[in-house]
Structure 1
């Protein structure tokens, strides 16, 4: 289950271009960033909330199970008591001001209804859902909902553990002490430089794994020249990734 939470996080990081920058923007402008609403306070929902809050996101968890609500509160997260498949509950939790809604329950029917409401009633731009049975993926994608299949994520993890144990161990370590961020390049000191020319601008302990430009993504080599507005995926130690965020996308 923890693996699925990790995969959720990677997808959301991609969806929220400057997710990790939210806290810095909020402090600078003295405002509260738009919410990420997670429906389902189980282990997946709580693990996801922990990582997103570490990135500066304003997270609220929605659930109506008393035992789950108590665990969410004990973990220190904001929780709204209510049925996430209800329009009233979603509205009360702030879905109308949410930039992302995540349906993270173990029930595909509930997740589909949550996704429908988020899209049709609250016009949430980014809706992501956990899908517990892979046969149901099409129903979600027909609504424009981004999906994470629990079955496929688990199979992928088991395959890595068998065929690529070093990668599997690294992913586990990344979950514990590392981070992955997608950063939009706005620093003029970075624009026009190649990957190999970054030098000390790229902190020790992290690397650029992917560059997104004009809707396409690629793994860059040393000669790749960075442009303003490129979206780079940086992974490595948490502190190193945080430093990269501050250097590549500084706030005024």
Structure 2
């Protein structure tokens, strides 16, 4: 897979190194000579240029990329790169870094963003996920379809403990993606029985999150069955 990363700071370089470890082809773009440090990621391609310029993206051959990652420290730059990648080059997957949480609402499909990653939101979500049992925690927002990746650890005494996945009337626009039980990552097959302490990961729309949270955290005998 060919990936172009706009922004060769610490974040961009770290992403590039990880992707190349997994066998992907990576091009890093940055207009700052100080950021273009080939020795730090020697196996990557490098381009000293402004990623907001069409001529730069032409030189980077974005039409041959499967993924563009807008990882600069400037939200305006990340939005422009995302929009150009999607509208001018038809890049299938555009991932953008959100530096200021106040700008997160802009990072959607209107700006060509498929996935917006907000470091402050991720850190707060991971803290909540680590300490919260029985509360729905939003881990990641997907721009397309207003869907989110959400997590809940099933508490003791929850109404769904002992229930098979296929027997649950899940809210619409909700999909159970996986069940983490101890060290095991489980496919949520219909005959899998839910247990207390299971970490459940869902993709769900924001509109369905309240109902999903109520369904999962309801105590035994208190579920309304709606």
**Is the TM value for this pair above 0.5?**
yes
* 1:82 corresponding residue in structure 2: 49
Q: Show the 5 A alignment for 1:48-87.
A: 48-70=15-37, 72-76=38-42, 77-87=44-54
- Cα deviation, residue 54, structure 1: 1.0
Cα deviation 1:11-55 (Å, max 9, x = unaligned): xxxxxxxxxxxxxxxxxxxxxxx4100000111111111111111
TM-score for both structures, normalised by structure 1? 0.50
Structure 2 unaligned regions, length at least 5: 133-173, 180-185, 191-226
Q: Conserved in 2, the CA contact under 8 Å of 1:133 and 1:150?
A: no
Deviations 1:79-109 (A, max 9, x none): 1111011111111112111110000001001
Offset at residue 154 of structure 1 (A): 2.8
Structure 1's consecutive aligned runs of 4 or more residues displaced over 6 angstroms after TM superposition are none
Whether the 8 Å CA contact 1:37–1:98 is kept in 2: the answer is yes
The structure with the largest alpha-carbon Rg is: 2
Report whether the alignment pairs 1:219 with 2:178.
Answer: yes
CA–CA distance in 1 between the matches of 2:25 and 2:123?
Answer: 28
Point out the structure with the larger strand share: 2
TM-score by length of 2: 0.56
Tell which has more relative contact order, 1 or 2 (C-alpha 8 A, sep 6+): 1
Q: Tell me how far 1:135 sits from its aligned partner.
A: 2.2
Gaps of 5+ in 1: 1-33, 165-214, 226-252
**Which is helix-richer, 1 or 2?**
1
TM-aligned CA deviation for residue 58 of structure 1 = 0.6
Equivalent of 1:155 in 95, 103, 124: 124
Paired position in structure 2 for 1:37? 4
Aligned residues between the structures: 143
CA distance in 2 between counterparts of 1:223 and 1:216 reads: 10
Residues 6, 51 of structure 2: 8 Å contact kept? yes
The CA RMSD measured in Å over matched residues stands at 2.8
The CA deviation at 1:56 is 0.9
